Amino acid sequence: MTAGRVNPWLVLVLVCLAQFMVVLDATIVNVALPSIQADLGISESSLQWIVNAYALLFGGFLLLGGRAGDLIGRKRVFLAGLVVFTSASLLCAVASGETMLILARGLQGLGAALVSPAALSIVTTTFREGPERTKALGVWAAIAVGGGAVGLVLGGFLVEVLSWPWIFFVNVPVGIVAFVLSMRLVPESKDEHAHRSFDIAGAATVTGGLIALVYGIVRSAESGWGSAEVLGFLALSAVLLVAFVLIERRSVEPLVRLSIFSVKTVRGANVAMFIVAAGLFSMFFFNTLYVQRVLGFSPLEAGFAFVPFTAGVIVGAGLSQKLVPALGAREVPLIGLGLGALGLLTFLRLTPDGSYVPDLLPGILLTSVGMGLVFVPITLIATSGVPNDDAGLVSGLFNTSQQIGGALGLALLSTLATNRTADELSSLGRAPTQADQAEALVSGFHVAWALSATFLAVAAVLLAVLLRRRDVIAVSEGEAAPVVA
């Protein structure tokens, strides 16, 4: 089946449906953790790995998933990822113990690492650069960001009305429908000029390096940045990633063509997204803790509290499609980053006796609209100026920037926030009351919110420095950018 015989918007619906599952599952499990722990008897130390197993395998295999699509076919890898993800969801739902559940969550992450870059590269090869791709990526951005907030609502609803296995069961019929329809309707595409071989050494070192990096980051929140465990994994990550670069420089058919980083749009967009994700992931995490642990919201109420975030992203994404031609693909995300930083700074007004509408909602709306203005043009910039043969590569890089940046930011800010809270409590010189604990908790959150705003400001500065207006003129005008071979 050729792309010309397919309705591209139907293709967009199908790949966005799959991406929605991937994004949803990154957050939907959070509100179910207490129920899972009680039902399966999972210890506090093991509970975190229900979340982290997914993040580790997702972040670690993204590049391999993206390049596999270029070499053996984006549709083929997309379908394989759907099979892995859907099967793993079923295993999660029927898990009878913590080991089975954690392993199945890791398998879900592997499936997500195949689905996500393949889906984005299918979008970029189905829609030509210009207004149509801008609209398509506007939908993609809304799904990618909004899915996280929807996951909190859906997770709370399923846990309260049914039971925790349903947060995984729900993926099974959706995955089957997406697979069957995609088999018939999604066109195949790949790099026809590539050698039919894989850079096994490169894949092993980069995947191992990223997994070691993410694992070290995750463990830092519990063991501390100076612990032998964390330093050991970070050192291992550095060794593997350096080895990866050396292998790629000598490989005939590299997993990552290093010259891709000479493309200014690719380099600038990925650096900016890495830092944006570091701030945005933390915003979701700490605001969810604030509404549940300080304001006393139930899981379902906490989920609904972030529905305005989804709406704001959709509004911002829609506005960006009109503003990019008028103001420029570089200027619109700079405006969005400014709004996002301002929104995060408004959270510094929050106190233990705050309330949702006057205190929390304004910051959520400012941040969400700002992020909607950021994601569409940044995605356009990241995927422009490269040949279709590298669509999987740039998609994998872009997704990896988000996942690794988010993991690093969350681990760093979580550690700093926890330290501030502990310092506040220890300085009391007496047993803390419930009010003292809430005050110390919010004080720690203030550190995280302030640094999250700083991350967005740094991203704006780097975007302005790394990209000039002339570098993105083709994207701004809705034209095909010059292709770098």
CATH code (residue 156):
1.20.1250.20
pLDDT higher than threshold 60 for residue 244 = yes
Report the alpha-carbon distance of residue 1 to residue 412 in Å, rounded: 47
pLDDT higher than threshold 80 for residue 247 = yes
Question: In 3-state terms, the chain is what percent helix, strand and coil (to 5)?
Answer: 80, 0, 20
Q: In degrees rounded to 5, what are phi and psi of residue 477? A: -90, 5
Neighbours of 172 (CB within 10 A): 14
Q: Which of 361 and 299 is assigned the larger pLDDT?
A: 361
Tell whether 344 and 474 lie within a shared domain.
yes
Tell whether 270 and 168 lie within a shared domain.
no
Report the alpha-carbon distance of residue 251 to residue 395 in Å, rounded: 21
Report the alpha-carbon distance of residue 136 to residue 30 in Å, rounded: 29
Tell me which DSSP letter residue 28 carries. Answer: T
For residues 220 and 413, the answer to whether their CB atoms sit within 8 Å is no
Tell whether 162 and 128 lie within a shared domain.
yes
pLDDT higher than threshold 50 for residue 481 = no
**CB environment 248-258: b (16+ within 10 A), e (fewer):** beebeebbbbe
Tell whether 126 and 165 lie within a shared domain.
yes
pLDDT score for 391: 65
- Quote the percentage of the chain above a pLDDT of 70: 85
Pull the structure tokens for residue 383.
């995927």
- Quote the percentage of the chain above a pLDDT of 90: 13
Rounded to the nearest integer, the mean pLDDT of the chain is 79
Tell whether 154 and 293 lie within a shared domain.
no
Name the residue range of residue 4's domain. 1-198
Tell whether 480 and 400 lie within a shared domain.
yes
Whole-structure pTM value: 0.75
Tell whether 315 and 212 lie within a shared domain.
no
pLDDT score for 485: 34
pLDDT score for 236: 94
Q: pLDDT tens digits for 336-354?
A: 999 999 999 999 998 888 8
- For the chain, the domain total comes to 3
Tell whether 226 and 169 lie within a shared domain.
no
Tell whether 184 and 212 lie within a shared domain.
no
For residues 375 and 184, the answer to whether their CB atoms sit within 8 Å is no
pLDDT score for 482: 39
pLDDT score for 414: 76
Report the alpha-carbon distance of residue 227 to residue 113 in Å, rounded: 30
Tell whether 74 and 194 lie within a shared domain.
yes
For residues 125 and 2, the answer to whether their CB atoms sit within 8 Å is no
Tell whether 269 and 283 lie within a shared domain.
yes
Tell whether 4 and 28 lie within a shared domain.
yes
